[in-house]
Amino acid sequence: MDEEVKLLGSWLSPMSRRVEVGLKLKGVSFEFSDLDVFFSKPPELLQYNPVHKKIPVLIHHGKPIAESLIILEYIDETWADSGIRLLPKDPYERAMARFWAKFFDDKCSLPLWMSCWTEGDKQQQILAESKLNLTTMEGALKGKKFFGGDEIGIVDIIVFCSVYWAEIAQEVVGVNVINEEKHPVLCKWMKETVDSNVLKDYMPPREKLFCHFQTYKDAIAALMTARGGRKQEEKERRREEEKEETPPRPPPESAGPPPDAGVSPDHHPTLEFRADHHLRPEVTPDHQLTLEGGRKQEEKERRREEEKEETPPRPPPESAGPPPDAGVSPDHHPTLEFRADHHLRPGVTPDHQLTLEFCRTTA
């Protein structure tokens, strides 16, 4: 299996170095194809990664896998019983490792590198972004030996490779991106990892990288500036596309005018509070909700009046008959009927009413 593994990369690429480290920590033998990809795209790269046209590309059994994070996961799963685990076994810890690996790639990797090769206001903006995101990464490292806990893992590999490159680049160009004052936790972790030789032996010599950056720093700076400009244009283009694709919000069907400032809600019981209604600056939400309460009360009263008007009068029973006298058994007056819905005259008690009815019936 091992003899069929090939890596397309470059000794100058920290992304390519991630995969090299992963393969070596797993004890996997592989063929390394060192490509010059910074100013051209070799045919072999275009053949195996025609979509992104980037390194690294891992070729296993003739099948290519691109993107360094995806490759590292593939290596960990394919050679699960070899070397160390790159991803934790516990599902939650594995999910957290993926989260921080992606966070670093999305938020830290490129700004960290670009901050070494840009100038002026753009550089200051990128430096501020790098500092903020690296501080966030430090939060995932506090209280631990490695990002993965007691053992090195996938997050340690990707962060170490990028920071190793950035420390040498900032020394060449004279920019202070990472230091103990700004990032004490990250610098301490970096020093201990270097001293432990866990990853240092898999890195290119500092002197070799330093000489390369010193020789080609103008060309690298121009390339990074152009790349940063393209990325900024791409962001602006996406914002414009999102604006065009987002349909305008239709106005509410019956919003009604906002209430006047300083007017008692009781004077405006018909005003309605709407979740999407824009209050005038001087009207607070509490006032608006009070108006809504008045409007709801008026609506209830209106419905009661409508129900009274719509309800037809109840017809009298066919053989209602007068109710029996109080204290007289209904058996003695079979023609008398007591009605629960009998309406009393005002000021007449039930006993008086029954007595009157009995007198009229027996008269």
pLDDT digits (tens, 9 = 90+) for 235-289: 667 777 777 776 666 665 655 555 554 545 454 444 444 444 444 444 455 555 5
User: Which of the two residues, 346 and 166, has the higher pLDDT score?
Assistant: 166
> Which SS3 state, helix, strand or coil, does residue 136 take?
helix
Strand pairing partners for 32?
Answer: 7
pLDDT at 71: 98
Q: Are the beta carbons of 8 and 35 closer than 8 angstroms?
A: yes
Fold designation for 1-86: Glutaredoxin (3.40.30)
Amino acid in position 170: Q
Give CA–CA dist 76/22, Å, rounded. 8
**Mean predicted lDDT score pLDDT of the chain:** 79
For 339-343, which contacts have Cβ atoms below 8 Å and span 24 or more sequence positions? 341/314
pLDDT at 155: 96
Residue 342 has pLDDT above 60, yes or no: no
CA distances from 318 to 315, 321, 337, 338 (A): 9, 9, 12, 14
Q: Are the beta carbons of 273 and 288 closer than 8 angstroms?
A: yes
pLDDT digits (tens, 9 = 90+) for 197-246: 778 788 999 999 999 999 999 988 888 878 765 665 666 677 777 777 76
CATH of 88-246, one of 3.30.56.10, 1.20.1050.10, 3.30.70.330, 3.40.250.10: 1.20.1050.10
Kindly report whether the peptide bond that precedes residue 285 is cis, defined as omega within 30 degrees of 0: no
Mean pLDDT of 149-163: 93
Other beta carbons less than 10 A from residue 97's beta carbon:
23
Q: How does DSSP assign 250-284, residue by residue?
A: PPPTT--PPPPTT--GGG-TT----TT----TT--
Domain extents in the chain? 1-86, 88-246, 265-310, 330-362
pLDDT at 263: 47
Q: Show Cβ contacts of residue 269 under 8 Å, excluding neighbours closer than 6 positions.
A: 291, 294, 295, 297, 298
User: Which of the two residues, 145 and 301, has the higher pLDDT score?
Assistant: 145
Give CA–CA dist 53/34, Å, rounded. 15
Q: Are both 1-86 and 88-246 of the same fold?
A: no
Highest mean pLDDT among 81-90, 277-286, 351-360: 81-90
> Which SS3 state, helix, strand or coil, does residue 8 take?
strand
Of the given ranges (20-34, 57-71, 190-204, 288-302), which has the lowest mean pLDDT?
288-302
Give CA–CA dist 189/148, Å, rounded. 12
Amino acid in position 251: P
pLDDT digits (tens, 9 = 90+) for 117-137: 988 898 899 989 999 999 999
Q: Show Cβ contacts of residue 229 under 8 Å, excluding neighbours closer than 6 positions.
A: none
Residues in the chain, overall count: 363
CA distances from 108 to 155, 190, 200 (A): 12, 16, 21
**pLDDT level of residue 3 (50, 70, 90 thresholds):** low
pLDDT at 234: 67
